[in-house]
A and B are shown apart, each in its own frame.
Chain A
Amino acid sequence: MPVKLEIKGLTKKFGSFTANDHIDLTIEPGEIHCLLGENGAGKSTLMNMLYGLLDPTEGEILVDGEPVTFHSPSDAIAVGIGMVHQHFMLVPVFTVAENVMLGREQTSAPGVLSRTKASEFVHQLSERYGLQVDPSALVESLPVGAQQRVEILKALSNEAKVLILDEPTAVLTPQEIDELMDIMRSLKELGTSIIFITHKLREVRAVGDRISVIRRGKVVGTAPPTATEAELAEMMVGREVKLKVDKAPPKTGEVVLSVEGCTVVDPRGHQVVKDVSFEARAGEVLGIAGVQGNGQTELIKALLGLVRPDAGVIRLDGEDISRHGPRESLDDGIGYIPEDRSHDGYIGAFSVRENLILDLYRTDRFSRGPALRLDDIAANADHRIVEFDIRTESASTPVSSLSGGNQQKVVVAREFSRPLKVLVASQPTRGVDVGSIEFIHKRIISERDKGTAVIIVSTELDEIFALSDRIAVMYDGRIVDTVSPDIRREDIGLLMAGATPDKPEEVTV
């Protein structure tokens, strides 16, 4: 039976900071209700209250007109609410099947797990919804996109009546996003209500029935899905947003980074990067496009010295750096925005202030002998917070309590804080709102114009096209072709699916 969910005057305060300020919202049965808002607007906070993870400071939640109190997620699950969390709620050392069944286990006898049944169940689910996962793979061995699929399947397996999707599309490929939107539409037909949070305005307009916009903890308005992207962006940010970066043609200089025959073998003995060679020149943006899991992650790790290539040479300004570790790479002037920020980008328990100098604390700017220059560190943080519009209660707030997009901004701000020769950015705007995307893109282009060689790795073609001066396409561990950004989207799609330029006739996809 479909459920109507009402939120009345819901308020959440963290100390003196009000994350949600008297929010009123109604989710009708069988509607797809989109929530838009800047990073830190309070969307996840609101959803966490709906799911029983946070206690509201004030206000009430009504299910079919009855007020309810959720003491824990099990209460929310009991009334039929399911949620895909912005930060994955997966046990890394469990298999996909184990993660999906956790809490509602498949058994062969009472209390006895049946892994075959669980695999079968996950297999069916993934067939039914067109989300490919391997039930027996360990979650920690999966790329983030696959983890996201698992998280979605987990929520779908619940047959929830109200499904909360908190930024499920940030790491999915375009095809997967299309499939997810189809799933949402068919669930809606069955009477499921969906609350859908995303920063991608195209998606909102494609599936939304109603759109509510939250700014600084308050609902500032609703819009029909017919509203234009520019209108939505303006409503969210409160000013006009340029959705496309202005950039001058690149002034390309010397080769800064050159990679020759780079090969990386993963711990299981598979060659994940195969004989990759390319050059990045000062003052240009080289985009690396490709479906997730085609060796981009490992290639970048090799550039940064996080893994040592098993063959090949990486040269920075002519000097061989393939044996350098991460610290040397940083000292060499390589900036790095990692693909998985919570894993490689920041230390959650450290304050914003400390995270902003993680790579600089040893320099004279921030330390004197063994002592830190706390005043300078604080001044730096205040400056960066304003510059990058990081929405945080204070500079001493731990990064783990920031909203997802603001965590990303902390990482980006830090990497832009020192002189760079090469900037390697993997999904630099993952989970960031339109206003901040505009800003980060501008910063990347101005970094390029300063003469830095920029390498952007992204699964998102929009981003690749917006920034790149040249595009290298990776497939199955190799660079299959390097093209100019004038290429048609379909053609690059074919390259990403594995068509090689010399033998296009083989393409059957």
Chain B
Amino acid sequence: MAVANAISDEGIVDVRDRTDIRRQAKLVSIFGLVLLALIAFYSRIDDFHIVYTLGERVIKDDPAKEINAQPIMIVGIVVAALALLLAAVNRVPKGALGALGYLLVGVAFFSGFIIWCYADQSGAFSVAIINPFPGTIRLATPLIFGAIAGCLCERAGVINIAIEGQFLMGAFFAAVASSMAYSAEMGLVGGILAGVAIAVLLGVFALRYQVNQVVLGVVLIALATGLTDFLLSQVPDDPDIKKYLNEPLILERVPISGLVNIPVIGPALFNQTILVYIMYASVVFVTLLLFQTTWGLRARSVGEHPKAADTVGIKVNRIRWQAVLLGGAFAGLGGAYFTVGSTGTFDSNASAGNGFIALAAVIMGRWNPVGATLASLLFGFCFTLQAQLAFLDKIPGELLRASPYLITVIAVAGSVGRVRPPAADGEPYQS
């Protein structure tokens, strides 16, 4: 093909295409805003001394340390200014180097924000910055379980809005099972069974009777809310009976020796309950299952183009059933977090809307279990941070409480358009 090469090498027209221009404009405005914000923070701080600890709380053996944050702040400003300069001359690198650059700017902005929040504390006692990561992992755990359940179902073409319902049922029956068996681990089994029970309803109505899956999901949530409230009201107050029904044992933390001593992330990742460790394994498992196995390829084909799957002999609805049931097990485990995984006793509406956040994580993570996990971690981080910043009065409490949800909305809206759900998501298939 000498001819082809001879021709394709010549005659490339010199054009700067529009995506490139758009990228430059975007970067200049973002970096510019970051720089402005950092300068604003800097100018409003009088006393740059802040206190922090690497632990989860300040204890006697490990007192809070003090640091002068002014140099950090200046470094941050310099980083943002450099980035802006590069963007202005359109020299921001692409690929991994570029990503590192974005990360640096992000870290600079975030440090500036945190320093501004914690600086200038008057009074005898100052609130210390604590390690947010253990809390992040804990709060993200149910979200991650819910999100991988969502990924499984939707990749196979079944919309599962009912994650919240599966959470509630899972939470309730985990509490009951743990109380009855006097074993926190049995609580997990109870959670799984309850999650699968809702999944069975989802399967029967969505796959067998082809009910609209969004409406169905909403109905299932209503059902789960009503049912758990009703059952809770039937638990007698008599402590002798109640202890067999709603006084579950709570999972204990199992530090993994060695790893737990890694500073900052050690206590976050490796000083958790068995449920969190199951969560790590589940993310790996579902990712491998979807992308590296025969079943996963078939499940994804069923979610994208069920007729094509049918024509190569794949039983569309059988695969969908399997995905829905497996998803139910994970969602049930996520539900168990709200009782045996954290507080213990089941209260009305124990999952507090986390199922919906998990749905948002599915979308933000582009229907990919790893992406959804990262999104869940982001949400978990926001919740943790919000709880910590609530001690300071820099930001109005109402705004602070709304912020994780606000970030959810922005994140989901920001990713819509660029992401594509599985093509046959929510479409029933009749062979």
List the interface of chain A (C-beta within 8 A of B): 51, 53, 72-74, 77-78, 83, 85, 88-94, 98, 101-105, 107, 111-113, 154, 261, 263, 265, 267, 269, 271, 274-275, 308, 310-311, 475-476, 478, 497-500, 506-509
Given A102-B298, A498-B4, are A90 and B308 neighbors across the interface (CB < 8 Å)?
yes
- For B423, the chain A residues whose CB sits under 8 A away are 92-93
Cβ-closest chain A residue relative to B289: A111
Contact B8 A476 (CB under 8 A): yes
Contact B297 A105 (CB under 8 A): yes
Bound form: Cα–Cα A492–B247 in Å: 84
Closest 3 CB pairs of A and B: A103-B312, A74-B313, A89-B308
B330 → chain A closest CB, angstroms: 19
| Interchain Cβ contacts under 8 Å between A and B, 21 examples | A51-B311, A72-B431, A74-B313, A74-B315, A78-B313, A91-B304, A94-B300, A94-B301, A103-B298, A103-B313, A103-B314, A265-B17, A267-B19, A275-B11, A311-B15, A475-B7, A497-B3, A498-B4, A498-B7, A507-B3, A509-B3
Band of interface residues on B = 35 or more
Find A89's partner among B11, B15, B17, B307 (CB 8 Å cutoff). Answer: B307
- For A271, the chain B residues whose CB sits under 8 A away are 12-13, 15
B293 interface residue (CB < 8 Å to A)? yes
- For A74, the chain B residues whose CB sits under 8 A away are 313-315
Q: Contact flags (1/0) for B288-319 with A, using CB distance below 8 Å?
A: 00001111111011001101111111110000
Given A310-B15, A310-B17, are A85 and B301 neighbors across the interface (CB < 8 Å)?
no
Contact B297 A98 (CB under 8 A): yes
Main SS at interface, chain B: helix
Contact B315 A274 (CB under 8 A): no
- For B311, the chain A residues whose CB sits under 8 A away are 51, 53, 73, 83, 85, 89
- For B315, the chain A residues whose CB sits under 8 A away are 72, 74
- For B96, the chain A residues whose CB sits under 8 A away are none
Given A74-B315, A89-B307, are A498 and B3 neighbors across the interface (CB < 8 Å)?
yes
Contact A506 B298 (CB under 8 A): no
Main SS at interface, chain A: loop
Contact B3 A499 (CB under 8 A): yes
List the interface of chain B (C-beta within 8 A of A): 2-4, 6-8, 11-13, 15, 17-19, 292-298, 300-301, 304-305, 307-315, 420, 423, 431
- For A507, the chain B residues whose CB sits under 8 A away are 3
- For A310, the chain B residues whose CB sits under 8 A away are 15, 17-18
Bound form: Cα–Cα A322–B308 in Å: 39
Given A112-B292, A310-B18, are A506 and B2 neighbors across the interface (CB < 8 Å)?
yes
- For A497, the chain B residues whose CB sits under 8 A away are 3
Contact A90 B312 (CB under 8 A): no
- For A261, the chain B residues whose CB sits under 8 A away are 13
Bound form: Cα–Cα A500–B300 in Å: 46
A99 → chain B closest CB, angstroms: 8
Find A274's partner among B3, B12, B307, B310 (CB 8 Å cutoff). Answer: B12
A406 → chain B closest CB, angstroms: 20
A55 → chain B closest CB, angstroms: 10
Contact A263 B7 (CB under 8 A): no
- For A113, the chain B residues whose CB sits under 8 A away are 292-294, 296-297
B150 → chain A closest CB, angstroms: 18
Cβ-closest chain A residue relative to B298: A102
Bound form: Cα–Cα A261–B13 in Å: 9
Bound form: Cα–Cα A74–B318 in Å: 13
Contact B295 A91 (CB under 8 A): no
A311 → chain B closest CB, angstroms: 4
Contact A102 B13 (CB under 8 A): no
Bound form: Cα–Cα A111–B294 in Å: 5
Contact A102 B7 (CB under 8 A): no
A132 → chain B closest CB, angstroms: 12
Contact B294 A112 (CB under 8 A): yes
Contact A506 B297 (CB under 8 A): no
Contact A73 B310 (CB under 8 A): yes
A340 → chain B closest CB, angstroms: 16
Cβ-closest chain A residue relative to B6: A506
